[in-house]
Structure 1
Amino acid sequence: MDKIEATSVNRKSDIISSAIEVFAEVGYFRATTAQVAERASISQPYVFRFFATKEALLLAALEASWNRVIESFRKVMETTPPEWLETKLVQEYVNIQAMYQNEMLLQMQAQTIREDAIRQTMRNAYKEIRDMVLAAFRDAGIENAEERAMLFLARGVLCNVAVAINLPELMEG
């Protein structure tokens, strides 16, 4: 990759990061590409160089946020003994929430957006995480793997709600 390509990739990443922040702060429907451009310290037309629409930008932001969760979970699954797997995955998700709260808020918002492409992205991401957690639980010999995987996902969603409404008591226990 030459210097121009590297700069272009970095700018695209900056735009996605700025979009995550803006969407999380003001909501997808109220956010504008001008706000994203301002946050990224670039011109609005430069945003459109990478993303034809605000929806395309949201899809890229969602993909980035879900990829973070998926890659983090993969690392835990590769390095954790079976008896600690569930506990370590929960800890990892709590860490992700603390470090990337805007990404979690973005994912929560996206669950309510009725656009087909966004709904499909959300379905695919939840399915991928469910499938990988279920397979890991089965491989680890966790009893009632299907139920434990479902409870793990439910706990993650509940933790997102707790963070979004600032009610940490929902995460206790």
Structure 2
Amino acid sequence: MSAEERRESVIRAAMVEFADRGYNGTSTAAIARRVGVSQPYLFRLFENKRALFEAAVRRCIEELKETFLRAAEGKEGEEARQAMAAVYFELIRDKSWLLMQLQMYVSTAAAEAAGDHEVGEAVRALWTDLWDSVAAATGASPEEITEFFAYGMLINNLVAMGFPVEHRLWQGFGEEYVGCPAVPVSE
């Protein structure tokens, strides 16, 4: 396996570990074990745990952005947003992927509260790029893009808490979510 392939494996393993245990609860030893490398090797690939977390966050947001943009390709406006909404449900079928997003928010807030603003700055820059990319791809107004992401955050929470699609809390979702059933996350 090349160094780049090994680095990719480490990022994937880190995403699963951080998703399950958060930044503070995840050890680099657990990540190294998951991918089958030594801790010293892990630190040759990434300067420290924070750099590895930032790489996992970057991968999570970049995958979301790429998936959204592929779904919107050749579409405009509401049609593009509907395509993005539909594909989002496919992404969050993966428990680790959904939980990585949620841990990203919690871990960033914790780092900020502890005075570590570098993680927050990096996450905010990635999120701003995601926001701007989705707005540009759909031609959405500021209100429409806000609504799109607000629905996404609500979906994250409902799915993470295990609300079945039949539950009344899903009733407020509009037509664009018809055919995008809330799916239980896989283990």
Q: Give the TM-score range, shorter chain.
A: 0.7 to 0.9
With normalisation by structure 1, the TM-score equals 0.84
The 1:171/1:116 distance shift into structure 2, 3 A limit, reads: farther
The 1:44/1:158 distance shift into structure 2, 3 A limit, reads: same
Give the letter aligned to residue 153 of structure 1: F
Cα distance in 1 for residues equivalent to 2:117 and 2:126:
14
The size of the alignment, in residue pairs, is 162
Is 1:80 paired with 2:75? yes
Cα distance in 2 for residues equivalent to 1:69 and 1:119:
18
Is 1:165 paired with 2:166? no
Q: Quote the residue 1:123 is aligned against.
A: 124
Cα distance in 2 for residues equivalent to 1:75 and 1:130:
15
With normalisation by structure 2, the TM-score equals 0.78
| Residue 163 of structure 1, CA deviation | 2.7
Cα distance in 2 for residues equivalent to 1:117 and 1:104:
23
Match of 1:26 among 16, 21, 46: 21
Is 1:106 paired with 2:100? yes
> Between the two proteins, what is the percent identity of the paired residues?
28
Segments of 4+ moved more than 3 angstroms: 168-172
Give the letter aligned to residue 89 of structure 2: V
RMSD: 1.9
Please state whether the residue corresponding to 2:43 is helix, strand or coil: helix
Q: 1:55-82: per-residue Cα shift (whole Å, max 9, x none)?
A: 0000000111111011111212223355
Cα distance in 1 for residues equivalent to 2:14 and 2:41:
13
Give the letter aligned to residue 136 of structure 1: A
Cα distance in 1 for residues equivalent to 2:119 and 2:170:
27
The answer to which structure, 1 or 2, has the higher relative contact order (CA under 8 A, 6+ apart) is 2
Cα distance in 2 for residues equivalent to 1:92 and 1:147:
21
Higher helix content, 1 or 2 = 1
| Residue 31 of structure 1, CA deviation | 0.7
Cα distance in 2 for residues equivalent to 1:37 and 1:83:
43
Q: Quote the residue 2:180 is aligned against.
A: none
Consecutive unaligned residues of structure 1, counting only runs of 5 or more, are: 1-5
Q: 1:32-91: per-residue Cα shift (whole Å, max 9, x none)?
A: 000000000111111101111110000000111111011111212223355521210101
Please state whether the residue corresponding to 2:24 is helix, strand or coil: coil
Is 1:45 paired with 2:46? no
Q: Tell me, yes or no, if the aligned pair for 1:158 and 1:171 is still in contact at 8 Å.
A: no
Q: Tell me, yes or no, if the aligned pair for 1:33 and 1:44 is still in contact at 8 Å.
A: yes
Q: 1:85-140: per-residue Cα shift (whole Å, max 9, x none)?
A: 121010111111114x32332222222332322211221122112212222332xx
Give the letter aligned to residue 109 of structure 1: Q
Q: Which moved more, 1:34-43 or 1:153-162?
A: 153-162
Q: Quote the residue 1:3 is aligned against.
A: none
